[in-house]
Each structure stands twice: as C-alpha cells, then as structure tokens.
Structure 1
C-alpha cells in the first residue's frame, strides 16, 4: 500500500512539473517527459515537436537552450548554458555568469548520462553515445562518444535524407511517427 501511495505522489509531481514546464517553455509540438527532471529558467528553453526527455535530466537554460524536432534524450542528461567567470573580480569566481547558448539540432539522439557544456551546437541527425561529455560542436550526422566527445563515424547521409524526406521519425521507444513528407520528395 505504501508503495502505491509513493508512486501516486511521484506521478502527481511529474505531471505538475510537466504542466509548469509546458506553460513556461516554448514547446513547438508534442513533448513526452518520462520521470522527474529539472529545468532552470524554462522561459529560455525551446523544445521542438516529437521531443522526448527521460528521467533525472538537468537543463540550465539561463543562457538559452534550443532542442530541435524529433530529439530523443535519455536518462541523466545534463546541459548547461551558463558558466562562472573565473577571470572575474573574485577567487575562484565572482557572481557574473557567462551566457553561451546551446543548440541541439533536429533528429538528434542523446544517450544515457550525456553532459553538454555551454556554447555547444549538436548538428542535425547526430548521435551522442552514452556517457559522452560534449565540449565542442558536433557536426551534422556525426556519431560521437567519449570524454571529451570525439567523432567515431558518420551516419549514412543518403539513408538519413531518404527517411527525413519520407517523414519517417521515431516516437516513444522507436515506434514510427509518420509525418507529412517534405515538399519535393517522392514516397
């Protein structure tokens, strides 16, 4: 019985928090959040259509964070868009924050335990492997991993463009979400 009550309270908290996020952030379509997470300054967060965030994520959007369409972000994702000024007027740092926007392009898949530092852009169609620490820009269609994240290989561009052109995008657990094809593409 206690377990049931705890689960009900947890679900209520997640729903309440999700409702608050949806009211404050710029959500451009369907959004799915599984489990608890923290967003600092949700008014500076933009979430694209068919975006999925799973539990225990932390997004500090004070410097602005944009997440594109069809992005899937796994558990324990950490993203900061601000940093302290270590060259300021106090040691180790002063109260001034350096804002550096983070941009995550369309159709990006981010694995478990990924960390993204301020000022990074993750290109369209990229895949960021489990546990990666992204300290520099990730090119479009790159598959990166490690600490610091390095390009391991690239996705097949023709295959990727064909699927995008046909409007074939993964939803929850990879289930197909069919969208209208882009103009000028044949199915």
Structure 2
C-alpha cells in the first residue's frame, strides 16, 4: 500500500515538473513583462520579454510598443536607453550604456564610470549574440546580423554583419605610463589596490594565513 502511494506521488511530481519545464518560459515572460512595466521608466503596449533577462538602471530605460526581447538579454541602462516601436531583438543581447573609466586613478581602469546613452529607433531587427556598446545610435529600420559588436552610428535601413576588430583610438600613453610607474592598479570592479601592488598584497595574505595555521 505504501509503495503504491509512493509511486503515485512520484508520478504526480513528474507530471508537475514536466508541466513546469514546458511552460516556464511563458510564465516567466508574463511575469517579467509585468515586473518591468512597473519598474522601467516607460514600457509600451505589446512588449515581450521572451525568457529570462537581466535589466539594471531601469528608471533610465524607455521601451515603445511591440518590442520583443529574446531570452538571456543583459542590459545595463544606467546611462539611458531608448528602444523604438516594433524592434525585435534575438537572444543573448549584451547592451551597455556605461563603461569603466580607463583614464582614471588606476590601471587597467578604476571604479568610476563613463555614461553614454544608447538609442535604438523603430523597426530595427537585432540578431542573436549581438553586443551593443555605450553611445550607439541604431537608426530606423536597420538590421544587425548575428554576432555583431555595434558602436557609433548605424545608418537608417542599413544591414550590418559581424566583422573583425577595428582600432578605435590609442590610450593616453603618458597617463598610462604614469600609473604603471606608480603601481596604481584596480582590483575587483576597479577598486584601487594598495600602492604596494597585488603581489605584495598576496604575499602578506599568505604569510598571515601561514601564521594562523602555525598558531
């Protein structure tokens, strides 16, 4: 009798898990759409988040009608983001509206930020695995191919595909060499390390740990 009840319970749990597995994206999309409509500065009608996405800086984001954002999007909106109507975005989008400051007080960057808004006009189609850099302006009707890294101005009705890396500019050599001489480096999230440098910090840490073990 107990064994029969166990098998029934296991069957019921299996059905529940099967149902969740087949419907969780629909539930998640429904939940996220309502959650983001409450948190984002402006969200139009018919906006869909298809799966799990992460948005930050939501009070700086505006999304117009009939925008679809695919699964696993990662959007940092602190610098300002506008997405025009009827824009469809495939999965795995990475979009930043700010970047670390590489001309600050540490190398390779410090813990301050540079903010530049991103504008995506209406009727844009963005493919899978696209990265959009701070300051990008994608004009009306443009198409961005899969795997593209996008920056600057994307012209109206233009079709753009992935290409190799291009040199944008050079770092300030004098500033770079000054910080390097002074051993001013950034640790986690750019927070400046002590002037003695990470090697010395690690050595002190190891000595301290060894002393505790001996004690």
| Structure 2 contact 28–51 (Cα < 8 Å) conserved | no
Mind listing any 5+ residue stretches in structure 1 that lack a counterpart? 151-187
TM-score, scaled relative to structure 1: 0.73
Aligned residue among 67, 73, 78 for 1:57? 73
SS in 1 for 2:140: coil
Q: Whole-Å Cα distance in 2 between the matches of residues 30 and 6 of structure 1? A: 25
Aligned residue among 88, 94, 115 for 1:99? 115
CA RMSD of superposed structures (Å): 2.0
Displacement of 1:90 in angstroms is 1.5
| Structure 1 contact 30–49 (Cα < 8 Å) conserved | yes
Displacement of 1:105 in angstroms is 0.6
Aligned residue among 34, 38, 44 for 1:23? 38
Displacement of 1:5 in angstroms is 3.7
Partner residue, 2:94? 78
Q: Deviations over 1:43-72 (max 9, x none)?
A: 111101111111111111010110001101
Aligned residue among 10, 19, 39 for 1:4? 19
| Structure 2 contact 48–69 (Cα < 8 Å) conserved | yes
Structure with greater helix percent: 2
Displacement of 1:8 in angstroms is 5.4
Displacement of 1:149 in angstroms is 9.0
Partner residue, 1:111? 127
Structure with greater strand percent: 1
Mind listing any 5+ residue stretches in structure 2 that lack a counterpart? 1-13, 167-215
Q: Whole-Å Cα distance in 1 between the matches of residues 86 and 165 of structure 2? A: 22
CA 1:45 to 1:149, structure 2 compared with 1: closer, same or farther past 3 Å? farther
| Structure 1 contact 133–148 (Cα < 8 Å) conserved | no
SS in 2 for 1:124: coil
Q: Deviations over 1:83-122 (max 9, x none)?
A: 0001101222112110000000111011111110000000
Q: Whole-Å Cα distance in 2 between the matches of residues 87 and 60 of structure 1? A: 21
Structure whose CA Rg is larger: 2
SS in 2 for 1:43: helix
Count of residue pairs brought into register by the alignment: 150
Q: Whole-Å Cα distance in 1 between the matches of residues 105 and 76 of structure 2? A: 24
